[in-house]
């Protein structure tokens, strides 16, 4: 017997240019570790991930904490102004901050479809890392699973975020009171139209970019100015109409919107017009609705407008008493109508 050195096995680096996701990327073996280290860890790099545990352990101060989770399944994965990666970070951070909380950490879980190009995955992961870094919210734990070709749609990403609520802040959907003013941070429908413009059977040319953005800083600015904000909500899927109907039901109030006050880009109006959609129901990913007492409204509006993500903010309506919890709108035309829950998907008119 002669003792010798055991040669370190050579592992070919992950082919991030031409490679594809294979079933063994999710099998728990060396190939999976390689994917995690060379792609996810390299991009998200932080002390928690470097420990290579299945969980992240952190200490926290006493107080109220917030947790929110969001699954992202979008088509197409890449769109003007972002991709599923940046969206999955912004979406969850925004869910956390709509409670007034400061976001602290994120967890990310990936379901990858066999055959998905690694180059695309890298673009997505890089966008996530960049979005998380820009927001100062590290991704500290995660998981990866691979499903057979045909059992997924490229990439599904679930992110979970936690945050700390500052002392004295009590923001919740049930706090709307008759008389409250309804503020919106900017233009409606940009994300939905940007994504729709790329759908296979619709494709049309537009310069509209998704508004996907993390709203933590805007919210922090708003809270400093008006700590007694009653409700915050980001009007994502289902748009402004759905978010306001949810709040109206949570708080058992009605709402009156003023159509002429709604900020909508001309390109978005035009796209909605020819697609037969209503911009009130189109998704946003970087906008928020705020409800506050009427005396605070002007101050809150000024604070929102002072922030780049709220420069086009507007007071768009008010909360009214209504046992039916209808969200109504005074149309630019001079009449009134219900702004109802969306039923099914929005569909273009036939005739």
Q: Which helix (H) or strand (E) holds 84?
A: helix 84-97
Residue 266 touches other proteins, criterion: CB under 8 A: yes
**HEC profile of 229-288:** CCEEECCCCCHHHHHHHHHHHHHCCEEEEEHHHCCCCHHHHHHHHHHCCCHHHCCCCCCC
CA distances from 73 to 46, 110, 298 (A): 26, 11, 38
**How many residues contact other proteins, by CB under 8 A?**
38
Identity of the residue, 202 or 252, whose beta carbon is nearer to other proteins in the bound complex:
202
Give 125's contacts (C-beta < 8 A, 6+ positions apart): 39, 40, 43, 44, 85
Contact between 332 and other proteins (CB under 8 A)?
A: yes
Please, are residues 124 and 85 in contact by the beta-carbon 8 Å criterion?
yes
Interface positions, 166-195, toward other proteins (CB under 8 A): 178-179
Q: Which of 15, 47, 273, 298 binds other proteins (CB under 8 A)?
A: 273
Please, are residues 255 and 317 in contact by the beta-carbon 8 Å criterion? yes
Q: Give the integer Cα–Cα distance in Å for 205 and 131.
A: 27
Min dist CB 329 to other proteins, Å, is 8
Residue closer to other proteins (CB basis): 190 or 318: 318
Whole-number minimum distance, CB 297 to other proteins, in Å? 13
Smaller CB separation from other proteins, 276 or 308: 276
Closest CA to 124 of 209, 47, 54, 40: 40
**In the complex, what is the shortest distance from the CB of residue 60 to other proteins, in angstroms, rounded to a whole number?**
41
Of residues 23, 202, 252, 302, which one binds other proteins by CB under 8 A?
A: 202
**340 touches other proteins (CB under 8 A):** yes
| 295 contributes a contact to other proteins by CB under 8 A | no
Which of 346, 349, 234 lies closest to 286 in space, CA to CA?
234
* Nearest alpha carbon to residue 83 among 194, 190, 215: 194
- Encode burial over 33-65: b for 16+ CB neighbours within 10 A, e otherwise: eebbebbbbbbbebebbeeeeeebeeeeeeeee
- Complex with other proteins: residue 41 or 320, whichever CB lies closer: 320
Choose between 131 and 329: whose C-beta lies nearer to other proteins: 329
Interface with other proteins (CB under 8 A), residue from 1, 6, 57, 347: 347
Q: How far is the CB of 90 from other proteins (least distance, A)?
A: 29
Which of 24, 270, 305, 307 is the binder for other proteins (CB under 8 A)?
270
Tell me which stretch binds other proteins (CB under 8 A): 121-129, 231-239, 304-312, 328-336.
328-336
Residue 321 touching other proteins (CB under 8 A): yes
Non-local CB neighbours of 130 within 8 Å, separated by 6+ positions: 86
- Residue 150 makes contact with other proteins by CB under 8 A: no
Between 61 and 323, CB nearer to other proteins? 323
Nearest distance from residue 262's CB to other proteins, in Å? 13
Q: Write down the least CB distance from residue 291 to other proteins, Å.
A: 13
Q: Between residue 209 and residue 238, which ones bind other proteins under the rule CB under 8 A?
A: none
Q: Does residue 175 sit in helix, strand or coil?
A: helix
Q: Render 178-205 in DSSP notation, one character per residue.
A: TT-EEEE-S-SSHHHHHHHTTSTTT---
Q: Which is nearer to other proteins, 9 or 335 (CB)?
A: 335
Torsion of CA 286, 290, 295, 298, to 10 degrees: 10
Where on the chain is the footprint of other proteins (CB under 8 A)?
Answer: 178-179, 201-202, 254, 256, 260, 266, 269-270, 273, 318-324, 326, 328, 330-338, 340, 343-345, 347-351
């Amino acid at each position: 017997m002669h003792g010798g050195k055991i040669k370190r096995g050579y592992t070919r680096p992950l082919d991030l240019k031409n490679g594809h996701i294979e079933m063994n990327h999710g099998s728990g073996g060396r190939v999976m570790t390689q994917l995690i280290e060379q792609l996810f860890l390299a991009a998200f790099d932080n002390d928690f991930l470097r420990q290579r545990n299945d969980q992240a352990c952190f200490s926290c101060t006493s107080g109220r904490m917030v947790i929110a989770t969001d699954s992202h399944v979008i088509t197409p994965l890449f769109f003007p102004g972002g991709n599923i990666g940046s969206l999955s970070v912004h979406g969850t951070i925004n869910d956390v901050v709509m409670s007034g909380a400061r976001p602290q950490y994120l967890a990310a879980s990936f379901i990858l479809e066999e055959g998905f190009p690694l180059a695309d995955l890298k673009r997505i992961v890089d966008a996530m890392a960049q979005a998380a870094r820009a927001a100062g919210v590290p991704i500290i734990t995660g998981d990866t699973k691979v499903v057979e070709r045909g059992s997924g749609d490229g990439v599904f990403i679930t992110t979970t975020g936690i945050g700390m609520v500052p002392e004295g802040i009590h923001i919740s959907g049930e706090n709307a009171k008759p008389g409250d003013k309804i503020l919106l941070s900017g233009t409606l429908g940009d994300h939905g139209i940007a994504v729709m413009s790329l759908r296979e059977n619709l494709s049309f040319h537009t310069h509209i970019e998704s508004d996907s953005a993390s709203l933590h800083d805007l919210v922090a600015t708003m809270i400093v100015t008006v700590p007694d904000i009653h409700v915050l909500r980001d009007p994502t899927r289902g748009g402004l109409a759905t978010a306001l109907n949810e709040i109206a039901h949570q708080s058992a109030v009605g709402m009156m919107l003023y159509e002429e006050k709604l900020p909508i880009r001309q390109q978005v109006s035009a796209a909605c017009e020819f697609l037969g959609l209503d911009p009130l129901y189109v998704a946003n990913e970087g906008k928020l609705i705020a409800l506050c007492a009427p005396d605070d409204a002007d101050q809150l509006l000024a604070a929102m407008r002072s922030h780049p993500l709220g420069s086009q903010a507007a007071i768009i309506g008010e909360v009214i008493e209504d046992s039916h919890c209808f969200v109504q709108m005074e149309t630019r035309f001079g009449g009134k109508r219900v702004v109802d829950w969306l039923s099914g998907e929005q569909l273009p008119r036939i005739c």
